[in-house]
Chains A and B, each alone.
Chain A
Amino acid sequence: MSRPRSQQAARAATPAEPDLTPLTGPAVRLESAVNGVEVAGPLGTGYLIKTPISSLSGFEHVSDAFASELARPDAPVARMLSATAGGQVPVENIIFMDLETTGLDATPLFLIGTMVWEDGDFVVHQYLARDYSEERAVIALFHEQARQKHLMVSFNGRSFDLPYVRTRAAATGAPLDVRLPHCDLLIEARRAWSNRLPNCRLQTIETHILGRQRHDDLPGRFIPEAYHEFVRTGDARRIIQILEHNVPDLITMAEILLRLPGR
Chain B
Amino acid sequence: MRISDLLQQIRSSPDYRGQIVYTREVAAREARYADPAEPLREPAARMLSCRGIERLYSHQAQALDAFRAGDDIVIATGTASGKSLCYIIPILEALAADPTATALLLFPTKALTQDQFKGFSEGLRMAGMEDVLCGVHDGDTPAETRRKLRDEGRVIFTNPDMLHASVMPQHGRWADFLANLKILVIDELHVYSGIFGSNMANLMQRFFRVCEHYGSSPRVIACSATIANPGELGAGLTGRPMRIIDDDGSPRGKRTYVLWNPPRQRGTIYRSRRSANVEAHELMARLIRLGMPTITFSKAKMTAEMIYRYVCEKLQQEAPELTGRVTPYRGGYLPQERREIERRLFAGELLGVSTTRALELGIDVGGLDACILVGYPGTLASFFQQSGRAGRGERESLIILVGLDTAINQYVMTNPEYLFGRPIERAVIDEHNPYVITGHLRCAVHELPLPEEDSHIFGRHAPLALDILQENQKVRRIGGTWYHASTETPQHEISLRDYADYNVVIEDIATGAILGEVNKFDAPPILHPHAIYMHQGDTYIVRELDLQRNIARVERIEVDYYTQPLGGTDVHHVDHRLREKPFGAGRAYWGEVTAYFRNWGFERVHFYSLDAIDIQGLDLPTMQLETMALWMVPPEPLMHMVRTAGLDAHSGLRGVGYATRMLLPTFMTCDTLDFSHSIGSANSEWNAIFIYERYPLGLGFTEKAYDLLHGILPAVYENVRSCECAEGCPCCVGKPLRGYSTWNVERGEASVPSKKSALMILEGYLDDMSNLSNPDVGSMTDSEDAMRGRLERSMRRRLERMREPSHFHPIDPLPRTEYPSREAEEQLAQPDVATRKERRGNLEKDLRRRLAKRLPTDRLDAFAPRAKGPEPLRTSRSLPPIAFSGRPEVQSEQASADSDAMPPPRREPIEQGDTLAARARRLKKQRKQDQ
Contacts and interface: CB of A to CB of B under 8 A. Distances in A.
Chain A at the B interface: mostly helix, strand, loop or mixed? helix
B172 A170 contact: yes
Contact of B485 (A5, A103, A106, A228): A228
A105 B484 contact: no
B487 A224 contact: yes
Interface in A203-247: 224-225, 228-229, 231-232
A163 B449 CA distance: 21
Interface stretch (B472-480, B587-595, B668-676): B472-480
Contacts of B489: 103, 105, 107
B483 interface: yes
B173 A228 contact: no
A166 B831 CA distance: 27
A228 B830 CA distance: 11
Given A228-B473, A229-B829, A231-B476, A171 B172 contact: yes
Contacts of B910: 5
Contacts, number: 68
Nearest to B483: A132
A171 B487 contact: no
Contact of A133 (B172, B446, B473, B479): B479
A163 B485 CA distance: 22
Contacts of B23: none
Contact of A228 (B213, B446, B829): B829
B415 interface: no
Nearest to B475: A132
B416 interface: no
A106 B484 contact: no
Contact of B478 (A102, A103, A132): A132
B395 interface: no
B254 interface: no
B484 A132 contact: yes
Interface string A164-186: 00111111010000000000000
Contacts of B484: 107-108, 132
B331 to A, nearest CB: 30
A167 B449 contact: no
A202 to B, nearest CB: 22
A105 B170 contact: yes
A3 B788 CA distance: 53
A205 B831 CA distance: 32
A48 B734 CA distance: 70
Interface string A118-132: 000000000000011
Chain B, interface size category, equals 20 to 34
B829 A132 contact: no
Interface string A90-129: 0000000000001101111000000000000000000000
Name the residue in A103, A170, A224 with the highest tally of chain B Cβ atoms < 10 Å from its Cβ.
A170
Interface centre among B446, B478, B479, B485 (most CB of A within 10 A): B485
B12 interface: no
Interface in A131-183: 131-133, 163, 166-171, 173
Nearest to B448: A171
B486 interface: yes
Contacts of A169: 172
A255 B449 CA distance: 39
Nearest to B828: A232
Contacts of B9: none
Contacts of A131: 476, 478, 483
A16 B479 CA distance: 41
Interface string A17-50: 0000000000000000000000000000000000
Contacts of A103: 487, 489
B4 interface: no
A38 B471 CA distance: 30
B169 interface: yes
Interface size class of A (residues with CB under 8 A): 20 to 34
A166 B172 contact: yes
B171 interface: yes
Contacts of B478: 131-133, 231
Contact of B172 (A102, A167, A225, A229): A167
A164 to B, nearest CB: 9
Nearest to A5: B910
Contacts of B476: 131-132, 231-232
B175 A170 contact: yes
Contacts of A229: 829
A172 B449 CA distance: 9
A68 B534 CA distance: 75
Interface string A191-205: 000000000000000
A167 B169 CA distance: 11
Contacts of A133: 449, 478-479, 481, 483
B639 to A, nearest CB: 51
Residue from B447, B486, B487, B829 having most chain A Cβ neighbours under 10 A: B487
Contacts of A105: 169-170, 489
B495 to A, nearest CB: 18
Given A106-B172, A131-B478, A228 B449 contact: no
Interface string B436-480: 000000000011110000000000000000000000010010110
Contacts of A106: 169-173
Contact of B829 (A170, A173, A225): A225
Interface string B815-841: 000000000000001010000000000
A148 to B, nearest CB: 25
Given A132-B476, A225-B831, A167 B487 contact: no
A103 B169 CA distance: 12
Contacts of B171: 106, 170-171
A171 B448 CA distance: 7
A169 B175 CA distance: 10
A167 B170 contact: yes
A107 B489 CA distance: 8
Residue from B172, B447, B483, B486 with most neighbouring chain A CB atoms (10 Å)? B172
B175 A228 contact: no
Nearest to A103: B487
- Which of A107, A131, A169 gathers most chain B CB within 10 Å? A107
A103 B486 CA distance: 10
B486 A228 contact: yes
Contacts of A5: 910
Contacts of B485: 132, 228, 231-232
Contacts of A168: 172
30 contacts: A102-B487, A103-B487, A105-B170, A106-B170, A106-B171, A107-B484, A107-B489, A108-B483, A108-B484, A132-B483, A132-B484, A133-B478, A133-B479, A133-B481, A167-B172, A169-B172, A170-B171, A170-B175, A170-B214, A171-B171, A171-B172, A171-B213, A171-B447, A171-B448, A173-B213, A225-B831, A228-B486, A231-B476, A231-B485, A232-B473
- Which 4 A-B residue pairs are closest in the complex by CB-CB distance? A167-B172, A132-B483, A170-B175, A171-B172
Given A170-B175, A225-B831, A231-B478, 19 more contacts: A102-B487, A105-B169, A105-B489, A106-B169, A106-B172, A108-B484, A131-B483, A132-B476, A132-B478, A133-B449, A133-B478, A167-B175, A168-B172, A171-B171, A171-B447, A224-B487, A225-B829, A228-B487, A232-B473
Interface of A: 5, 102-103, 105-108, 131-133, 163, 166-171, 173, 224-225, 228-229, 231-232
